[in-house]
Structure 1
Amino acid sequence: MENKYIVALLRAAINNTTPNNPPDNIDWKKIYTISAANSIAGTICPAIMRLPKECQPDKDTINLFSRSEMIAVCIDSMQEYELTSVMNSFEENHIIYTPLKGWFMKKLYPFPYMRTMCDVDILVNKSDLPIISNILKEHDFQYESHTNNHDGYIKSDKISVEMHWNLFPEDVPYHDYFSDIMSKLIDADDKAYMKKLSKEDYYLHLIAHLAKHFDRSGTGIRSLVDIWLYNKKYRDTLDMNYLNLGLTELGLSEFESTIYKAATQLFSGDIWDDTTLAITNYVMSSGTYGTKDTYIVSALNKKGGNKLSYLINRIFPDRTFMEMHFPILAKCPVLLPACWLARLFKCVFFRSTNVRNELSTLKNATSDGTLDENTKIKKMCGLN
Structure 2
Amino acid sequence: MEFTSIESEYLVALLKCALKSQNVPDIPAGLNWKELVNISKKQQVYSTIAPIINKINIPPEQAQELIFYSQNELVRMIAMKNELKQIEKELNGAGIKYMLLKGGVIKNYYPLQKMRQMSDYDILYDVSKRNELISIMKNRGFNLTSSSENSDDFFKKPYYTFEWHRELFFEEHDFNPDFSDVWDNASKDDKKEFEYHMSSNDLYLHTIAHMYKHYILGGFGIRFFADVYVLLTKLKDELDKAYIDSKLEKMGLVDFEFDVRSICFALFDDKEITNSQVLFLNESLSFGIYGSGGVTGAKLYYDEYRSKHGDVSVSKYYRSKIFPSKAYMKRTYPVLTKKPYLLFAYYIIRLFDKFFHSRKRIKSDIKMLKETVKEENKQ
**Which residue number corresponds to residue 286 of structure 1?**
287
Could you tell me the TM-score, scaled by structure 2's length?
0.86
Q: Is the 8 A contact 2:200 2:239 kept in 1?
A: yes
Query: What is the CA–CA distance in structure 2 between the aligned matches of 1:351 and 1:104, rounded to whole Å?
Result: 31
Q: CA deviation at 1:286?
A: 3.0
SS of structure 2 residue aligned to 1:237 = coil
Question: Relative to structure 1, is the Cα distance of residues 262 and 345 closer, same or farther in structure 2, using a 3 angstrom cutoff?
Answer: closer
Range 316-325 or range 153-162, more displaced? 316-325
* Counterpart in the other structure of 1:210: 211
Q: Which moved more, 1:233-242 or 1:321-330?
A: 321-330
Aligned pairs for 1:178-197 within 5 A: 178-197=179-198
Aligned length: 365
Query: 1:295 matched to which residue of 2?
Result: 297
Tell me the equivalent position of 2:251.
250
Query: 1:20: Cα distance to partner?
Result: 1.4
- CA-CA distance at 1:263 after TM superposition: 0.5
Unpaired runs of 5+ in structure 2?
none
Identity fraction in percent: 28
**Which residue matches 1:378?**
none
AA matched with 2:200: K
One-letter amino acid matched to 1:295: G
What is the match of residue 315 of structure 2?
308
CA–CA separation in structure 1 for the residues paired with 2:374 and 2:8: 26
Q: CA deviation at 1:205?
A: 1.2
1:1-384 to 2 correspondences below 5 Å: 1=5, 2-51=7-56, 53=57, 56=58, 58-171=59-172, 175=176, 177-269=178-270, 271-290=272-291, 291-303=293-305, 306-319=313-326, 322=329, 326-344=333-351, 355-364=362-371
Counterparts of 1:351 and 1:292, CA distance in 2: 11
- Cα deviation for residue 308 of structure 1 reads 2.6
Residue aligned with 2:237, SS: helix
Which amino acid is the alignment partner of residue 171 of structure 1? E
Structure 1: state its 5+ residue gaps: 370-384
Deviation at 1:229, TM superposition (A): 0.3
Deviation at 1:171, TM superposition (A): 2.3
The 1-side partners of 2:81 and 2:375 are apart by 45
Structure-2 separation of matches of 1:206 and 1:352: 29
Assess if the C-alpha contact under 8 Å between 2:217 and 2:294 holds in 1. no
| Residues 154, 160 of structure 1: 8 Å contact kept | yes
Q: Matched residue of 1:236: which SS?
A: coil
Residues 92-135 of structure 1: per-residue CA shift (max 9 Å, x gap): 22221111111111111122121111221111111111111111
Sort the Cα spacing of 1:276 and 1:9 in 2 relative to 1 into closer, same or farther, 3 A: farther
Alpha carbons of structure 1 residues 320 and 33: separation in structure 2 relative to 1, 3 Å: farther
What TM-score results when the alignment is normalised by the length of structure 1? 0.85
**Which stretch shows the higher mean deviation, 28-37 or 215-224?**
28-37
Q: Work out whether residues 3 and 280 of structure 1, in 8 Å CA contact, stay in contact via their aligned partners in 2.
A: no
The letter for the 2-side match of 1:128 is K
Contact 1:10 1:47 in 2 (8 A): no
The residue identity in structure 2 corresponding to 1:298 is L
Residues 206-241 of structure 1 deviation map (CA, whole Å, 9 limit, x = unaligned): 111111112222111111111100111111222222
CA contact 1:145–1:152 (8 Å) conserved in 2: yes
SS in 1 for 2:235: helix
The answer to whether the Cα contact below 8 Å between 2:262 and 2:273 also exists between their aligned partners in 1 is no
Tell me if structure 2 keeps the 8 A contact 1:37–1:288: yes
Distance 1:346 1:7, change over 3 A: closer
Aligned CA distance change for structure 1 residues 49 and 186 (closer, same or farther; 3 Å): same
In structure 1, how many angstroms separate the alpha carbons of the residues matched to 2:360 and 2:274? 40
3-state DSSP of counterpart to 1:286: coil
For 1:151, what is the secondary structure of its paired residue?
strand
Q: For residues 354 and 227 of structure 1, do their structure 2 counterparts lie closer, same or farther at Cα, with a shift above 3 Å needed? A: closer
1:50-70 CA distance string (max 9 Å, x none): 22x2xx2x3222222222211
